[in-house]
Structures are given as structure tokens and as C-alpha cells.
């Protein structure tokens, strides 16, 4: 478990081709004036982040040939605050001058949780002189997504500016406030990822060793994904599900021949 209230890691991107920037690497941009020691932003652009992960396992030996393993895990993440980022760009009013375009992708009370339960049974037995190792089990996972992103461009600044503090928590917050007064804010400046998903699966696999050095693996897995509805971007997941179906189920099969003809470290795999 951890919680942070700090400045996000600085990220620079190459959104423009090298033909427009006159450089294709950080070394060349330094020659144009880029200073890697400069933050290119002011105070107050922090974000709060939380993460909690819990895992539990119970192993039980039923007899000499059967073992049980039960696994339970849960994960929670949270984010709220600014996340400024930068990209190298020509001056909008003078394309021969290269500098830094400043922008932001914030999160607002964004959460994501996972819950998973897995039960496995391991069998080790012989049929005649042939050893069989079998795993059979089931798995359930619930994902609950509730994330809200805000984004906007801020400005363009030259490499040789003496003060970059005008991009700060107060001014960026004021820009979002001004944007929210417009009718197209949700459409042009937000991205929503929201919804619940249940994933059910059952599986069985078996490995036999008919002769020394040869293993044969067969497996079958059934998986069903059930969307509970939500939103992706500006589109409701419900309307998407009506077009493509709320539930998606699939059956997977695998067959492998694994041969060790020379030594324990050499193998040939046929699939």
C-alpha cells in the first residue's frame, strides 16, 4: 500500500517530425537550447495517487495425488490532480523557432478496482506406466472502472525563457474553470472510462509423459466476459453492447508436443 502527493514525472514527446524540429534526438535538441535540468513549469501541479494490493493463498494437500490451491486478490488505485506533459514544437507564429508546447492531462477522483478468486486442483497420478499431471480449476474476476480525465493545451514557450512559473496549479485550474463554462467542454476536454466487467473461466490441462524425453500437453479453457455497461470516452458502453452483444464467450484448446532429444536443456516444441 502506498499514497503519494507529488509532482508527476516529467515527460517530453516528439509530436512533430524531425524535418520540422530540425532534430531527432535529445542531444540535438540540447544544441538548439533545450535544458534537461529545467522543469518548464511552476508550483502546485501535484497529483494524489493511492494504490492498495492484497493477496491471500491457501494450499491444502488432500492426499498424495491431489493438492488444492485457493487464491484471492484485490487491487485498488486512485488518482486525482494535475499531470502536465510537454512536447517539442515549432513556434506557432514562427516555424523556424523550436521550443516547448505545454499541456496537461489531469485526473479527477479516478478509481479502478480488481477482485479475483481462483481455485486450482493439481493431480499427479499414473495410468499404467504413463505419468499424468493435471490441473483443473476456475477463475472469477470483477473489474470496476471509474476514471475521469481532463486535458487541455496550455501554451508554447521558447527554450531561452527566463521564467516558466506561469504554468502552475492556480493558472491551470483557472483554465479548466474557463473551459467548463463552454458548451463543448465534456466533448473536447474530457475522457471517461467507466463500467463494470465480470470474467468467468474454467479450465483443465493435462501433461503425459509416454516415454522419457517426450511430454504431451493438452488443455481446454472456457471464458465468458460479461459487460455491465458504462462509458468509454463520450460513448455509452450500453449502446456499444447493443450492437456487439453484452456477453462474449469463447472456448480455447491447446495441444503441445515437447521433446527433449539431447539433454534437459534442449527441446523441440510442436504446437
pLDDT in tens, 246-263: 567 888 898 888 776 555
pLDDT in tens, 13-58: 999 999 999 998 999 999 999 999 999 999 999 999 999 999 999 9
Neighbouring residues of 177: CB distance < 8 A, sequence distance ≥ 6: none
pLDDT in tens, 57-110: 999 999 999 999 999 999 999 999 999 999 999 999 999 999 999 999 999 999
266 has pLDDT over 90: no
pLDDT band at residue 237 under the 50/70/90 scheme: confident
pTM for this entry = 0.78
**CA 134 – CA 124 distance, rounded (Å):** 7
Neighbouring residues of 129: CB distance < 8 A, sequence distance ≥ 6: none
User: DSSP states of 177-188 as a string?
Assistant: HHHHTSTTHHHH
pLDDT of residue 265: 46
To the nearest 10°, the Cα dihedral for 177, 183, 184, 185?
20
* Phi, psi at 236, each rounded to 5°: -70, 135
Look-up of cell digits 490441462 = 205
> For the chain, first and last CA: distance in Å?
41
pLDDT in tens, 144-165: 999 999 999 999 999 999 899 9
Amino acid at each position: 500500500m502506498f499514497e503519494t502527493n507529488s509532482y508527476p514525472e516529467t515527460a517530453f514527446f516528439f509530436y512533430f517530425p524531425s524535418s520540422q524540429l530540425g532534430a531527432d534526438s535529445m542531444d540535438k535538441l540540447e544544441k538548439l537550447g533545450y535544458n534537461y535540468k529545467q522543469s518548464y513549469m511552476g508550483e502546485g501541479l501535484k497529483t494524489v495517487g493511492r494504490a492498495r494490493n492484497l493477496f491471500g493463498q491457501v494450499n491444502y494437500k488432500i492426499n498424495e495425488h491431489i493438492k488444492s490451491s485457493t487464491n484471492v486478490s484485490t487491487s485498488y488505485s486512485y488518482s486525482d490532480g494535475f499531470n502536465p506533459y510537454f512536447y517539442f514544437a515549432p513556434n506557432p507564429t514562427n516555424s523556424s523557432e523550436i521550443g516547448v508546447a505545454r499541456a496537461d492531462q489531469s485526473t479527477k477522483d479516478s478509481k479502478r478496482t480488481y477482485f479475483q478468486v481462483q481455485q486450482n486442483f493439481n493431480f499427479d497420478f499414473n495410468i499404467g506406466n504413463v505419468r499424468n499431471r493435471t490441473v483443473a480449476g476456475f477463475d472469477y474476476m470483477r473489474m470496476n472502472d471509474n476514471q475521469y480525465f481532463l486535458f487541455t493545451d496550455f501554451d508554447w514557450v521558447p527554450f531561452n525563457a527566463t521564467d516558466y512559473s506561469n504554468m502552475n496549479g492556480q493558472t491551470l485550474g483557472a483554465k479548466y474553470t474557463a473551459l467548463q463554462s463552454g458548451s463543448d467542454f465534456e466533448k473536447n476536454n474530457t475522457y471517461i472510462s467507466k463500467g463494470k466487467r465480470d470474467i468467468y473461466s474454467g479450465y483443465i490441462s493435462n501433461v503425459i509423459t509416454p516415454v522419457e524425453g517426450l511430454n504431451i500437453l493438452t488443455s481446454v479453457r472456457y471464458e465468458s466476459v460479461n459487460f455491465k455497461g458504462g462509458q468509454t470516452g463520450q460513448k455509452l458502453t450500453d449502446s456499444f453492447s447493443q450492437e456487439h452483444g453484452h456477453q462474449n464467450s469463447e472456448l480455447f484448446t491447446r495441444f503441445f508436443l515437447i521433446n527433449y532429444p539431447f539433454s534437459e536443456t534442449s527441446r523441440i516444441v510442436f504446437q
